[in-house]
Amino acid sequence: MARWEIDGSELVLVADTGSVRRVTSSFVYNAMGVGSGFAQDAPDPRDDLPDLRFSKRGLSISFSASFHDGKFSLLPKASKLGKSVPLGKLPIPLPDHVIAGGVWYFINDDVALLNEILADVGISSFGPISLVQYLQLVTMDHAGECVSINDDLVDIAKRSSSFSDSTVPPLLNAKLYPYQLTGYGWLRFMAEQADGCVLGDEMGLGKTLQVIALLLARHDEGRQTSLVIAPVSLLENWRREFARFAPTLDVFIHHGSDRPGWVKTLETHDVVVMSYGTAISDLGMLAMGNWDVLVLDEAQAIKNPDSRRSISIKRIPRAFGIAVSGTPFENHVLDVWSLFNFVEPPLLGDRDGFTAEYPDNLEGAAKLEGNISPFILRRTVSEVADDLPMKTVINVPLTPLDSEAEAYEEIRRLVVEEVGEAGATLASLTRLRMFCTHPIVLDDSLGVAEKALPPDPSSVSSKYSYLCTLLEEIFLRGEKVLIFTSYRRMFALLNRDLPSRFGVSVFEINGSTEPKLRQSVVDEFSAQEQPSVLVLNPTAAGTGLNITAACNVIHYNLEWNPAKEDQATARAYRRGQERPVMVYRLFYAGTVEESIKERMDLKREMAGKAIVGTDGDRADREAIIRALSLSPIRSQGQ
């Protein structure tokens, strides 16, 4: 006849053949003769196990997730009548009964639900779990009161004390600031706990150095080749930074028509750096590699999940992925899904489920932030770099000349006649934005006669007149200045007028400046002993360049995207800047520029309250319509 035995914390029935039968608590009661059924071929367990006591009261079972010494764990816990009961090792799936302290108990709770939770998270044994599994427990709707969570874990990315004692690689040629040491330690921790993470520190805090420290540490551990993918304009910056901070690493720039075509050739190097375009072209080769860390610099480049770039990059195999971006989430929650589809694909599920769960509004962004924050390390300059000098931002609303206001109104009416206010788009506002920059910026193709450069360009533009006054003050202080503008004709105007007006040198970086030459332009500008001007396109020169030789930044025409403006400002306001930085934002009141300024301010306010800065499409649409309705003539009461 079969006999009863104790297997760990479970009561089992062992047949004469030695086979083990796992039974339910109801079967045990039936074998004891106190149940409502009959347990065939089963003796009374009290006869086989006289020392085992059987409780008439059940146990309540739940789970406890904890974080200690850099490790996550999930353990079961039990209580009877509100008092804790010590447990031994429990199997998974959980049985509906348990032996604890020499006493057999049935389990009060819904065991099927408990097992469903464990199965959904992929936990097959109690003890260590991953960060991803922890987060799944946190966000699981049906976990309810079954799982107790250490609330501190949600803010793990900000718990600097957990990582500030990390040991940096001995061959790192840099002394890390405390916040950089924390960032390096956090990257190491995430590489052990997850498939990827987002390093979202604000521009100027040394994200590149923190990543290089991690790559050097993993190389010292004997890991495989790591891969860095960046905009083509930043390849030279990465080469210089590796040479400066980790000269012992063998770094190869994979770029140009003569680049190797065999993955084994690339894998002979410690680190390979390439552009997004090259990565797409060489995807077939890269997909055959065995990469350790895949770093995406300016990772917002893959925010569109349907783009060829995004789809291609996500196919590259890696042990760990790092999305590096000073502006990781700018506009829509779907951008977040695309980024996390690279960083940690299981976390947010498939696209359809994600869009249903997280609407593209403030509520959806707030809900999403709570789920993804442990994967993001985001510090601002004001939070950590208390040794940086002051930055002062001055908004300068200007009134157009009467002639400008009349011309602006004429152009505005033409646009309204063409598209209607309700049909306004960003493209339809381009003519107005160009005119606000300077009247000569418009040309015949836009329906407005091009004006020859007058003897004094400031005589036909109050904004340019103010710019000249501002530059005169800056030059009298013996300082350099960065001027950001989006329009080629404005570059030409500044290059023609400023040298003769002030006797200063004018340098420029625009979309036609070859990426490999941009740093040399910065070097030449920085080497000037006299006041000088560097004119930049915010898109072409808004990232990767260190221009701390200038302590004045002028945004001559504002952009809709505040992240683009902030990146541009960070060229001067960053580590290495020793002087107070003045930032001037020029705009015409009562025009499209005022609407842009208001929209940027609102987006900044929202971004300051949440990691995920989203406001959906509706508010942007309303801002565009308002921009087309503004008139400097009406604002002046004419």
Question: Which tens digits make up the pLDDT trace of 417-466?
Answer: 877 655 556 666 888 899 999 998 875 443 333 445 667 899 999 899 98
Q: Which pLDDT does position 236 carry in this prediction? A: 80
Instruction: Give the CB-side neighbour count of residue 388, counting CA atoms within 13 A.
Output: 22
Surface-to-core class of residue 168, CB atoms within 10 Å of its CB (0-12 exposed, 13-18 middle, 19+ buried): middle
Contacts of 420 (CB under 8 A, 6+ apart): none
In this predicted structure, what is the pLDDT of residue 46? 94
> Going by CATH, does the domain composed of 391-633 fall within 3.40.50.300?
yes
Q: How many helices (H) and strands (E) does the chain have?
A: 25, 24
pLDDT given at position 126: 93
H-type helices in 251-307, by residue range? 263-266, 276-281, 283-286
The H or E element containing residue 377 is strand 376-377
- Give me the pLDDT at residue 160, please: 46
d(CA 177, CA 519): 25
pLDDT of residue 281: 96
H/E/C letters for each residue in 222-256? CCCCEEEEECHHHHHHHHHHHHHHCCCCCEEECCC
Which of 271, 350, 346 lies closest to 305 in space, CA to CA? 350
**Helices assigned H by DSSP within 246-361:** 263-266, 276-281, 283-286, 308-313, 333-343, 345-348, 351-357
CA 378 – CA 198 distance, rounded (Å): 8
CA distance 23 to 11: 8
pLDDT at 157: 46
The pLDDT value recorded for residue 420 is 65
List the structure tokens of 156: 């793990």
Would you state the structure tokens that stand for residue 173, as one six-digit string?
A: 């040629």
Read off the amino acid at residue 182. T
* Kind and range of the H or E run holding 518: helix 515-527
For the beta sheet containing 97-100, the strands, ordered from the edge strand earlier in sequence to the opposite edge, are 53-54, 103-106, 97-100
Residue 298's Cβ-count burial label (10 Å; 0-12, 13-18, 19+) is buried
The domains spanning 156-384 and 391-633 adopt the same CATH topology:
yes
Work out whether strand 391-398 and strand 581-588 pair parallel, antiparallel, or are unpaired.
parallel
Q: Are the CB atoms for 462 and 586 separated by under 8 Å?
A: no
Phi then psi for residue 118, to 5 deg, are -60, -40
Distance from C-alpha of 115 to C-alpha of 203, rounded to nearest angstrom: 45
Q: What is the DSSP letter of 560?
A: S
Residues 285 and 312: beta-carbon distance below 8 Å? no
Q: In a 3-state reduction of DSSP, which class is residue 344?
A: coil
Distance, in Å, from the CA atom of 169 to the CA atom of 86, rounded to the nearest integer, reads: 43
| Rounded-to-integer distance, Cα 111 and Cα 215, Å | 45
Secondary structure element (H or E) that encloses residue 4, with its range:
strand 3-7
Tell me the pTM. Answer: 0.66
What are the structural domain ranges in the chain? 3-153, 156-384, 391-633
CATH architecture of 156-384: 3-Layer(aba) Sandwich (3.40)
Alpha-carbon gap, residue 183 to 413, rounded angstroms: 53
Q: Which residues of the chain have pLDDT under 70?
A: 35-39, 70, 141-142, 144, 150-162, 164-165, 203-204, 328-331, 382, 385-387, 420-428, 443-454, 542-544, 605-629, 631, 633-638
Distance between CA atoms of residues 123 and 360, nearest Å: 32
The string of DSSP codes covering 564-581 is HHHHHHTTTSSTT--S-E
Q: CA-to-CA distance for 42 and 93, rounded, in angstroms?
A: 23
Bridge partners, residue 297, by sequence: 324
Rounded to the nearest 10 degrees, the angle between the axes of helix 207-220 and helix 178-193 is 50
